[in-house]
Amino acid sequence: MSTLYIEDIEIGLERGLSRIITDAEIEAFAVASGDRNPLHFDDDHAKETIFKGRIAHGILTASLISAVIGEQLPGHGAVYLSQTLKFRAPVRPGDKVDVTCIVKDVIQEKRRIILDCSCRVGDTVVLDGEASVLAPSRES
């Protein structure tokens, strides 16, 4: 079990992960979400779009931020309160996504942390935003 308590979290603390987005994950996400947009599955259709090929669901990429929050920062016991997202570039099947979450603010009395979150493929930011998270406390 991985947990960082609010008492141990400081501005600048950083956690992240890397993951290769596979066709199997895109399919599983479609089953879970019900989103079967042909942009994610049909090569011929996707070639005719502004993306010129198939892309992963944007929220699939964003869900990797949830993995960092729920498993690392602060980890088990975290309560995800809010998230802003800006989708900046597509993620394609086979892309390696690098996720980084950095503590921007700590509000001790409310047990809240504010995280700057970004997802990159290589040097390209594909998604970024800010998360608000309720962190566990040793005192409660």
Average pLDDT over residues 10-37: 97
Residue found by looking up tokens 């040793």 in the block:
138
CA-CA distance, 46 to 50, in Å (whole number)?
Answer: 8
pLDDT tens digits, one per residue of 91-125: 999 999 999 999 999 999 999 999 999 999 999 99
The reported pLDDT for the residue numbered 81 is: 98
CA-CA distance, 61 to 48, in Å (whole number)?
Answer: 22
Q: Which residue has the higher pLDDT, 1 or 86?
A: 86
CA-CA distance, 110 to 64, in Å (whole number)?
Answer: 25
The answer to whether the bond into 74 is cis (omega within 30° of 0) is yes
Q: What is the pTM of this model?
A: 0.93
CA-CA distance, 106 to 17, in Å (whole number)?
Answer: 22
The reported pLDDT for the residue numbered 1 is: 57
Which domains does the chain possess? 6-134 (3.10.129.10)
pLDDT tens digits, one per residue of 39-61: 999 999 999 999 999 999 999 99
The reported pLDDT for the residue numbered 139 is: 85
Handedness of CA 59, 103, 5, 71 (dihedral sign): positive
pLDDT band at 2 (very low <50, low <70, confident <90, very high): confident
